[in-house]
Amino acid sequence: MNQAMNSHKSVTKTEAREQLKLQLTQYVQQQPESSQAFHKWMQRLELVSMILIAVTFVLAMYLSITWKSVNPLVIPIAWFAFVASPSLLLVLAGLHSIVLRAFPPIVLPGKVQKFVTGSEATWFGLGTILVALAVAVFWGVFAYATWTQNWAILQPLIGFLGVVLGVGIAASIVVGMAYTIIQKITKTR
């Protein structure tokens, strides 16, 4: 019975994703020709940024595998570049949302989002850009401090990252346990 419920949830997610794509398509079709052209160009740029994410991952893996023949400082820099690389996609998606006044402007795998338009979409786009820039700056500073071996910068960054990861892991465990308990309670009734 659990497998049937899981397949039903995945069908629901698929249907929701298709509905989101349909809403976006219909919204874009109602826009002026210039907005439609902008949308197509942004989709291409966002695709290129997704390819860039894959390239940075492959590069980081390659450098990690060939660690004996490269400068040891290059390996963490490559991984920091990989972690920061989605920031470009998020900045482009935020700009796309602001100009198009629709969020999300592209449908990516993962959690299905609610489609919004107007000023709310503009605010979501601006927030996406700000978060992406903050992430890029954080990992950029981390990469710089690693490259220069500046322990005055590295120590607080490592401490901050440790606290964030610790809190995140603990919160995910607590939320997961609470979700499981709530599921069990609602199934017994």
Residue 169: predicted pLDDT: 96
Burial track 158-175 (b if 16+ CB lie within 10 A, e otherwise): eeeeeeeeeeeeeeeeee
Tokens of 92: 């482009």
What is this structure's pTM? 0.80
Residue type, 15: E
167-189, pLDDT tens digit by residue? 999 999 999 999 899 988 888 76
Q: How many other CB atoms are there within 10 angstroms of residue 36's CB atom?
A: 14
Give the phi and the psi of residue 43 in degrees, each rounded to 5: -60, -40
Q: Which of 82, 80, 120 is nearest to 101 (CA)?
A: 120
pLDDT computed for residue 12 by the predictor:
77
Is the bond into 104 cis (omega within 30 degrees of 0)? yes
Q: Report the chain's C-alpha Rg in angstroms.
A: 21
- List, as own/partner pairs, every contact residues 153-161 make where C-beta atoms lie below 8 angstroms and the sequence separation is at least 24, other chains included: none
Distance (Å) of CA 13 to CA 7, 27, 29: 10, 21, 24
- Cite the DSSP H helix spans in the chain: 2-29, 33-65, 74-84, 86-100, 119-148, 151-188
Q: What is the pLDDT of residues 73-83, one digit of tens each?
A: 999 999 999 99
- Of 118, 62, 4, 56, which Cα lies nearest the Cα of 12? 4
Given a cut of 70, the residues of the chain with pLDDT beneath it are: 1-11, 189
